Amino acid sequence: MVLGGGGAAGNAWVIGIVAGLAEAGVDLAEAADLVIGTSSGATAAAQVRSGIAPAELLASVLSAPVRPGGQNRQAPPAFAMEAAFERIRAIGAAATSAADLQRAMGAFGLESDSKFPPDGGRRRAIVASRLPRAEWPEKPMVVVAVNAHTGELVAFDRNSGVELADAVTASTAMPGLGATHSIDGTHYINGGVRSTDNADLAAGYANVVVLSPFGGRSGPAPEGQFEGLRRSPEWGTDLTSQVEALRRQGSRVEVITPDADSVVAMGTNQMDLATRIPAARAGFAQGRREAARLTFD
């Protein structure tokens, strides 16, 4: 099971989908031999691999209080976000290869670190508070990040010698909107810099299910937001190319992206905490409908 990135809305939608599928008799959290999570999908991966029933995970999302005005007060101010998105657009436009883009985004993250005062581990603590368990799950799980110094993909798992909270914090460190995450002196940025979903890491598995909050839409997510970072089919980093490659290798791949109701529920600002409850509800309803096509031998 591959869980793609998509901010607060995407995380809630993924939990809704997983719970809806389970309600309809398809418990992917239990059946999956491997769960791969990127960005907010890394948080979702830790949640669905925690051993907590999908219905309970959904109930937790639906019962969470919404802050006045619905805005995520941890997010940077709007002007800072727009400046970061503008820089991301420029990096994407200038990149000549996936490796070039990843290195440039890593350099942008490292350059931006000086703008963010040391938080004494506050961001890591916030990430850790969202994880149902502090320890890596027994069942295989991979959390995807990018080395900010080299631009190379890093696939953390329980054998990496890295704590789960650090791996997820690294996978969710968004260049220009927060500091890179340092682990033993190496800095990491969001795994979505390489690919929103990183579905190609599921190579070799007979059956692959991809839950991609932003894989099937070109809008209405505002142009230039992180999930809109330029992908190129010849680079193999877009979801379509990765799915085609898996199928050529013999995998059966099913991709679930937000339907019309879920797109409306997720809104145009995936970082807005007010989207979580409607996105989770829409995902749950969609998951119940999607279960019929997820019958594997």
| Lowest-pLDDT range of 76-90, 172-186, 254-268 | 76-90
Whether 71 maps to a domain, the answer reads no
The Cα 93–Cα 123 span in angstroms is: 30
- Average pLDDT of 108-119? 92
Say how many domains are in the chain.
1
Closest C-alpha among 246, 253, 247 to residue 294: 253
Task: Look up the domain containing 7 and give its range.
Answer: 2-63+77-293
- Average pLDDT of 268-285? 92
Strand partners, 252: 207
Percent of the chain whose pLDDT exceeds 70: 89
* Secondary structure of residue 160 in the 3-state scheme: coil
Percent of the chain whose pLDDT exceeds 90: 74
CB 212 within 8 A of CB 242: no
pLDDT 10s digits, 192-219: 999 999 999 999 999 999 999 987 654 4
pLDDT score of 290: 96
Helix locations, 137-193, DSSP H: 164-171
| Lowest-pLDDT range of 197-201, 211-215, 228-232, 284-288 | 228-232
* pTM given for the model: 0.93
Parallel/antiparallel/unpaired status of strands 186-190 and 181-183: antiparallel
**Average confidence score pLDDT of the chain:** 90
- Average pLDDT of 114-142? 93
3-state helix, strand, coil in the chain (%, to 5): 50, 10, 40
Tokens 């109930």 map to which residue?
A: 59
Whether 248 maps to a domain, the answer reads yes
**Quick one: DSSP state of residue 132?**
S
Q: pLDDT band at residue 93, thresholds of 50, 70 and 90?
A: confident
pLDDT score of 219: 47
- Average pLDDT of 29-50? 97
pLDDT 10s digits, 64-75: 876 544 444 455
The Cα 243–Cα 240 span in angstroms is: 5
Between 55 and 273, residue with greater pLDDT = 55
Host H or E run for residue 49: none
Whether 178 maps to a domain, the answer reads yes
Q: pLDDT band at residue 221, thresholds of 50, 70 and 90?
A: low
CB atoms within 10 A of CB 129: 8
**Quick one: DSSP state of residue 130?**
T
Query: Which domain CATH number covers 20?
Result: 3.40.1090
Whether 68 maps to a domain, the answer reads no
Whether 96 maps to a domain, the answer reads yes
Take residue 287 and report the two structure tokens written for it: 């998951």
Whether 69 maps to a domain, the answer reads no
Whether 72 maps to a domain, the answer reads no
